[in-house]
Chains A and B, each alone.
Chain A
Amino acid sequence: MFDNLQLLIEFPAVTLDVVLNGLLIGAIFALAAYGMALVWGVLNIVNVVQGELVVLGGYITFVAVQWGLPPLLGLPLSAVVMYGVGWLIYRGVIFRVVDRDIFISILATFGLSILIQQLANLVFGAEVRSVDAGFGSLHFLDGMVSLAAVKIAAFVLALGAGAALWFFLRKARLGQAIRATAQNPRAARILGIDTDRVFAATYGLNAALCGAAGSLAVMAWTIQPYMGLPYTIRSFMVVVVAGVGNVGGVVAAALGLGALENVAGFVLGVEFQIAFVFALMVLILVWRNIRAARQRSYLE
């Protein structure tokens, strides 16, 4: 089982390849995690359907490419369509659970995740899908390190989207309204902010970020109807580690997670990669709780 660990130690170039590829994938996690942090901070909801929004975004790009659209145009298309999907989900379900017990929102979004996952399975089938963006790969160190150009593009685009989000939240009127609502919804309402509209826009924005992440995932990696929950857990983990209002921390944690996950998949075998993600999340929560307990507090 640990033969591959030996390999990593003996050939630093292999290690570099595994870590770099992981880091690039981590940028996609960062996009989904921004969205989760946004919804968590503003609506006070843990959005368990997050991963399914990513997968849906991927299918939109997949279908668009089948219809003859260039892959890179799939990214804005996925984001725009998913904004609409997010708005619909908010108007249909989320607004009814926003100010209720947090377990109600967890269970409701969990139900939505099963719903979307099964719909995707019926419509698109259970096969693993991907889109060839046609960019080829870059090779370094005599071909020991190879990076798909589309992954590098995904990395740049994801970081660009993060920066754009940061500016949007600080400069745009809606962004400021979102931040005000996150700090104190009641005060925001008194000041004349339509918090319901802000919630809807925030959730839509989250879905758009997920859509973009899914579009990049289908080009740089693969998607499949049942791949949603791991994205939810990754986003959750990243936000727990980085904190809700910390865009820079989210990027760092997501990239770290991408690298760590890829190394773990390489060492333990790909069949244990998902198990690693979920177990890591549990361990992080336990560790955080032990630290809190030392301060005579707890994780809630």
Chain B
Amino acid sequence: MSRLSDWHIMGALALTGIAGPLLFPAFAAQFAFLWLMVTFALTWDILGGRMGYNSFGNIVFFGIGCYAAAVIQRDMGLPYFEGLALGLAAGVVLAVLAAVLLGSALLGIRGHYFAIATLGLAVASGEIAAGWRYVGAGSGMALPLYPGALGERELFFTWSLLAVAALCFLFCRFLYSTRFGLALNAIRDDHDKADAMGLRTTPIKIFAWCVSAFFLALSGGLAANMIGFIDPRDVAFAGATFGVWMVLMAILGGKGTLWGPVLGAIVFHITQEIFWTYLLGWQRVALGALIVVIVVFFPQGIMGWWAEWRARREAA
């Protein structure tokens, strides 16, 4: 994709994101979730697609963002927006700190051991939150009400989640254009070789996870306020939904590509919104089946499929 068309697509998406909820106020929440999904897929792909570290545990940073905002907004006695701002900041700081600590411990592990370790991390975090009374234990936490009018509330969260997704996209785009992006790919293609060529792989890997954690925590605090309630296992540390969707959307779009995760998130979210209501309680069964089908039959993703198709057409 040339630079020009890149900016065109970004502009069109931004315009859709800004004007969409104004024109179709009933769909404002769907737009908000779409941007959340885009952030999910993009942040997963930093490690999963670019660096070859398949993580099931990124949801932990989202959960930290949710809970940090909820606790600060509950305990600090600040007006709504001040509380939200402080909550988001605290969430980001805690999540990045967690990424540094967990990264130091876990990012030395490779391959499927890393995948299973991060899966354990995600479930353990949810279970700890579900047993910890200070954060409401199993009954979760309610967030303060948005002070403005009803429609205004939807717009505020839709646009702020759009802003997070856009920032995340632009930052990833910048990262992948630098030597840092090449270093991530080098670690993915041959970790030992990257070490033998003198790359500082450990700080590179930890920083990559910190970038994921930063944007996930930010979107977590906002999403918690938008939903208004956080359940430890079904919202904050929702490993079986959000946690797997991240992986699925990135693979569906094409992992390791710039636009793949965005595309995957859009396709997944729209499909989900259209078909989910017809499935009458079978949604999660269908999700399991969808994972199997995509992983087994379509692991190259839409971008990979497109590249293959173009290569075949050029060869013909």
Please tell me whether chains A and B touch each other in their complex, using a CB distance cut-off of 8 A.
Answer: yes
Q: Which residues of B contact A122 (CB under 8 A)?
A: 281-282, 285
Asked whether any CB of chain B lies closer than 8 Å to the CB of A138, the reply is no
Asked whether any CB of chain B lies closer than 8 Å to the CB of A197, the reply is no
Q: Give the residue among B105, B130, B137, B295 with the most A Cβ atoms within 10 A.
A: B295
In the complex, are the beta carbons of A103 and B115 less than 8 A apart? yes
**6 interchain pairs, CB-CB under 8 A:** A112-B292, A114-B240, A115-B288, A122-B281, A285-B120, A289-B109
Mask, A38-80, CB within 8 Å of B = 1, is 0000000010100000000000000000000000000000000
In the complex, are the beta carbons of B112 and A114 less than 8 A apart? no
Asked whether any CB of chain B lies closer than 8 Å to the CB of A187, the reply is no
Supply 13 further A-B pairs (C-beta < 8 A) apart from A106-B116, A275-B123: A46-B116, A107-B54, A111-B288, A115-B285, A122-B281, A122-B285, A278-B120, A278-B121, A278-B124, A279-B124, A293-B108, A299-B111, A300-B110
- In the complex the two chains form, what is the Cα distance from A107 to B247 in whole Å? 9
Interface of B is mostly: helix
Asked whether any CB of chain B lies closer than 8 Å to the CB of A167, the reply is no
- In the complex the two chains form, what is the Cα distance from A107 to B282 in whole Å? 20
The residue on A at minimum CB distance from B115 is A106
Mask, B10-27, CB within 8 Å of A = 1, is 000000000000000000
Asked whether any CB of chain B lies closer than 8 Å to the CB of A5, the reply is no
Asked whether any CB of chain A lies closer than 8 Å to the CB of B106, the reply is yes
Mask, A261-292, CB within 8 Å of B = 1, is 00000000101101100110110011001100
- In the complex the two chains form, what is the Cα distance from A289 to B128 in whole Å? 24
The 5 closest A-B pairs by CB, nearest first: A115-B288, A111-B291, A275-B127, A114-B288, A278-B124
Q: Which residues of A contact B127 (CB under 8 A)?
A: 271-272, 274-275, 278
- Measured CB to CB, the closest approach of chain A to B108, in angstroms, equals 5
In the complex, are the beta carbons of A111 and B295 less than 8 A apart? yes
Interface residues of B (CB under 8 A from A): 54, 56, 105-106, 108-113, 115-117, 119-121, 123-124, 127-128, 130-131, 137-138, 240, 244, 247, 251, 281-282, 284-285, 287-292, 295-296, 299
In the complex, are the beta carbons of B282 and A111 less than 8 A apart? no
- In the complex the two chains form, what is the Cα distance from A176 to B222 in whole Å? 58
- Measured CB to CB, the closest approach of chain B to A278, in angstroms, equals 4
Partner of B296, one of A97, A113, A281, A285: A97
The residue on B at minimum CB distance from A282 is B120
Q: Give the residue among B108, B113, B289, B299 with the most A Cβ atoms within 10 A.
A: B113
Mask, A116-134, CB within 8 Å of B = 1, is 1111011000000000000
Asked whether any CB of chain B lies closer than 8 Å to the CB of A104, the reply is yes
Query: In the complex, how many residue pairs between chain A and chain B have their CB atoms under 8 Å apart?
Result: 134
In the complex, are the beta carbons of A118 and B284 less than 8 A apart? yes
- Measured CB to CB, the closest approach of chain A to B117, in angstroms, equals 5
Asked whether any CB of chain B lies closer than 8 Å to the CB of A233, the reply is yes
In the complex, are the beta carbons of B291 and A275 less than 8 A apart? no
In the complex, are the beta carbons of B112 and A298 less than 8 A apart? no
Q: Which residues of B contact A112 (CB under 8 A)?
A: 288, 292
- Given A233-B120, A272-B131, A274-B123, A299-B292 contact (CB < 8 Å): no
Q: Which residues of B contact A260 (CB under 8 A)?
A: none
- Measured CB to CB, the closest approach of chain B to A2, in angstroms, equals 15
In the complex, are the beta carbons of B292 and A285 less than 8 A apart? no
Q: Which residues of B contact A110 (CB under 8 A)?
A: 56, 119, 244, 291
In the complex, are the beta carbons of B288 and A116 less than 8 A apart? yes
Asked whether any CB of chain B lies closer than 8 Å to the CB of A16, the reply is no
Q: Which residues of A contact B285 (CB under 8 A)?
A: 115, 118-119, 122
- Measured CB to CB, the closest approach of chain B to A175, in angstroms, equals 26
The residue on B at minimum CB distance from A275 is B127
In the complex, are the beta carbons of B109 and A286 less than 8 A apart? yes
Partner of B109, one of A96, A102, A299: A299
Asked whether any CB of chain B lies closer than 8 Å to the CB of A236, the reply is yes
- Measured CB to CB, the closest approach of chain A to B50, in angstroms, equals 15
Partner of A96, one of B56, B106, B287, B296: B296
In the complex, are the beta carbons of A229 and B117 less than 8 A apart? no
Q: Which residues of B contact A290 (CB under 8 A)?
A: 108
In the complex, are the beta carbons of A108 and B292 less than 8 A apart? yes
In the complex, are the beta carbons of A102 and B124 less than 8 A apart? no
Q: Which residues of A contact B137 (CB under 8 A)?
A: 271
Q: Which residues of A contact B108 (CB under 8 A)?
A: 289-290, 293, 298-299
In the complex, are the beta carbons of B112 and A46 less than 8 A apart? yes
In the complex, are the beta carbons of A281 and B120 less than 8 A apart? yes
Q: Which residues of B contact A88 (CB under 8 A)?
A: none
- Given A122-B282, A272-B127, A275-B131, A115-B112 contact (CB < 8 Å): no
Asked whether any CB of chain B lies closer than 8 Å to the CB of A93, the reply is yes
Partner of B113, one of A113, A272, A285, A293: A285
